[in-house]
Structure 1
């Protein structure tokens, strides 16, 4: 086996701390060919689709990749901007803002689990900058094997190919972290100040097959806890909010209640105004901009609803960056020296250099 060499490393240099924030990913372009490449990588991950590999290979290559790329390309074209994919543009903004917040004590980069920039490229960029202590922060507040564990798989796969491994810490979830909850509360209150409050607030999370829950995945429970904590901070009664799950795929039963069916039913039950917030999405993307704010908006209004508001994801809002910075600070504790320790390390590095 040939290992990736760390030829850029110079002995005696101060070991820097790096932070890699990651998100799901996006195609490079909103085209059929680009979507086919992206979907093949995404849907080939055994963490995403837990089926016998041969059977799924036949379904994926024989049916899905022949039909879905064209449909998905049209959806992406509807949300694409001059800066490209919203998810990519916002993640870049988050990385820049987080770097500014944390200062020179750490180096911040971003990567995508699927597509570009890859996890491997993100790690290499940090190593090239002298990082030897690495914190990985997947931007999934609620742990799920399909997302969080898959990111760890990508880290492990990259590390298997490296000769020199950095020290590693990994944030597996932050669904109940107080600063994250407060950021969600601030985002909702900010929207209320501008648009008022609806009859019902819906927390919509990305769905997963129900059998994943039955097999021990904590995702459903963590989503419910996030909703309860946010609602409690907002002073909402049980009748004023609910939790639902979106983006189901295939014929299998997924976590319920489904967001789309919920929105179709609410007007018939007397609810005429709703607001949707997606706490599990750290950045607005296809699933929030098109699926929630367009498709699901129509479901509610066509069923007799009168007012539908989508509350934007946390994105690069100051309260979100503040929360992420505190999560990072907690998890790199002991890695970043104080000023006296840093000065001593610099002097030691100089002495080592002089001796050579």
Structure 2
């Protein structure tokens, strides 16, 4: 697949070769089985372990210390992060996380674990023996532990790495690729590995979105307007060459075409603006306010950049934006859930994985 970045290190051409170790004590040769298993690493952003102040603070410090996320001088940023943001912001975030927390924990982590469980079962039933692990870029379960499990415990010599960010950005997929590569190349016997760089217009993804939207509309009827809301990033990132906006636009255009929806019934916007710098626009919040004032009574929102529901969908969109639209004069607001462990989506994902593993 053209969207794969392929890295093959020290690949052994003899499929069933044996490793040979020389015993330091008696110099006798010992044979041990070769590593032939294939591993799948699913990556997502991450979440605090609990909604306690200390766990949120720990998560924020790790997340906002990533220089692909905050692209300003660390000499300026780290004191600001540690002395102000990570001290004050957790008190606000605690309430927001508490509002969405489930009895099983963080929605992002619960949904991600369910994805892994469903994917394992589908792959097993289809006869594909692969080892699957979940790794979060920030927080737990960590990418390091997931890789160590695949390589050291499950004897994987080949790893397919799937960052679950459909649209590429340096701050998400780029950060994950950088982190994974740095850790994998610390092994003496570096496994072969492949990355899925983006899947913003791949059929397995677009078809899953369309299926989810149509199922929701079959149960609830259609809205006057569908807003396709992507997570925003600073406009300066685009000026520096980040392809994220183009990826979002391509997703939006293909989704609109596949849905066969009228031009006036769908539009693209960006959410989750942070700080005072210019971010990608139009802003979802501004559009919801304007649509309500223009007399639109029902609006549905889908967030295709989020493969699992999390704080940004459950709190920001389904609570804050719902209240904004209703308070501005709208009557009905719906957030179409993320793909999560939707069987149609996981089946499509498994088909993509099987195709990617051919001839490897």
TM norm structure 1:
0.90
Tell me if structure 2 keeps the 8 A contact 1:244–1:256.
yes
Distance 2:108 2:59 in 1: 14
Structure whose residues are more often helix by fraction: 1
Distance 2:356 2:70 in 1: 31
Distance 1:283 1:200 in 2: 23
Return the offset for 1:14: 5.2
Match of 1:112 among 112, 136, 156: 136
Match of 2:145 among 121, 146, 153: 121
1:327 corresponds to: 352
Is residue 49 of structure 2 the alignment partner of residue 28 of structure 1? yes
Paired residue secondary structure (2:291): helix
2:324 corresponds to: 299
Distance 1:183 1:113 in 2: 25
Match of 1:54 among 71, 75, 78: 75
1:346 corresponds to: none
Return 5+ residue gaps in structure 2 as ranges: 1-20, 22-30
Tell me if structure 2 keeps the 8 A contact 1:169–1:331.
no
Distance 1:115 1:41 in 2: 8
CA displacement, residues 61-118 of structure 1 (integer Å, 9 cap, x when unaligned): 1211111011111111111111100000110111111111222421111110000010
Return the offset for 1:160: 3.7
Is residue 305 of structure 2 the alignment partner of residue 275 of structure 1? no
Aligned residues: 327
Paired residue secondary structure (2:133): strand
Distance 1:218 1:115 in 2: 26
Tell me if structure 2 keeps the 8 A contact 1:24–1:113.
yes
Distance 1:250 1:326 in 2: 40
Return the offset for 1:332: 1.9
Is residue 223 of structure 2 the alignment partner of residue 198 of structure 1? yes
TM norm structure 2:
0.89
Distance 1:116 1:14 in 2: 26
User: C-alpha root-mean-square deviation of aligned residues, in Å?
Assistant: 1.3
Is residue 216 of structure 2 the alignment partner of residue 211 of structure 1? no
Distance 1:58 1:238 in 2: 47
Paired residue secondary structure (2:32): coil
Is residue 125 of structure 2 the alignment partner of residue 100 of structure 1? no
Return 5+ residue gaps in structure 1 as ranges: 1-6, 336-356
Is residue 39 of structure 2 the alignment partner of residue 39 of structure 1? no
Tell me if structure 2 keeps the 8 A contact 1:199–1:274.
yes
